[in-house]
Copies of this chain bind each other. A is one copy, B any other.
Amino acid sequence: MARLKEFDEDRALDAAVDCFWARGYEATSVRDLTDAMGIGGASLYNAYGDKRALFARSLERYANRSMRERIARLEAAHRPKEAIAAFLAEIIERSLKDRDRKGCLLVNSALDVAPHDAAIGKVVAGYLDEIRAFFRRNLDAAHVANADEVSAHLLGVLLGIRVLARTGARRKLLEGVARPALALLETHQ
């Protein structure tokens, strides 16, 4: 063996997530990252490869800690229809509380880097499809009609809320976006 790392890789990765989340991929410099992560440039390249690889790791960590955690938590605590409603409500609350309008790293990446990087684009599309699958699963369980289309619709509504939130939309607008979608949950087979 040899010398041990002096920093916690996961903790540093969390700092990298915050950087990419707040500023986007292009606008985040390697120096921004090393400063926030509290490590030197050599350590960053030694531990993660390069900026792009670090971004891919950050994306994965964000998906695990934000999206998948939320899905698991809501699905465990609520019945199907309530889980969907709670998901949208939680996103709206977080968006309104989000003073610096970071939005969602997945959505930001979908517009920022996905179109210019096929590999990362596929990863992002896969994460978004996990959200759609969550909707689909719970729509089926609640015997909602047209679950296939409605799950796509709910994903679209979610993404729309995220975009509007980044332009500083108010609560009334965001809830207006969501409410007609929630009404669909009452259309049973």
| A positions within 8 Å CB-CB of B | 23-24, 26-27, 100-103, 107-108, 110-112, 114-116, 121-122, 124-125, 128, 146, 148-153, 155-164, 166-169, 173-181, 184
Contact = CB atoms under 8 A, between A and B. Distances in A.
Contact of A156 (B100, B103, B164): B164
B168 A121 contact: yes
Contacts of A115: 100-103, 166
B146 A180 contact: yes
A156 B161 contact: yes
Contacts of A122: 168
Given A107-B111, A110-B166, A151-B176, 16 more contacts: A26-B26, A27-B116, A114-B167, A125-B167, A148-B176, A149-B179, A152-B177, A153-B181, A156-B160, A156-B161, A156-B177, A159-B159, A159-B164, A163-B163, A180-B181, A180-B184
A23 B115 CA distance: 9
Contact of A110 (B102, B124, B163): B163
Contacts of A160: 155-160, 163
A5 to B, nearest CB: 32
A184 to B, nearest CB: 6
Contacts of A149: 175-176, 179-180
A189 to B, nearest CB: 15
17 contacts: A101-B115, A102-B115, A107-B111, A108-B111, A110-B163, A111-B166, A114-B166, A122-B168, A125-B168, A146-B180, A149-B180, A152-B176, A153-B177, A156-B156, A156-B160, A156-B178, A162-B163
Contact of A164 (B102, B155, B164, B167): B155
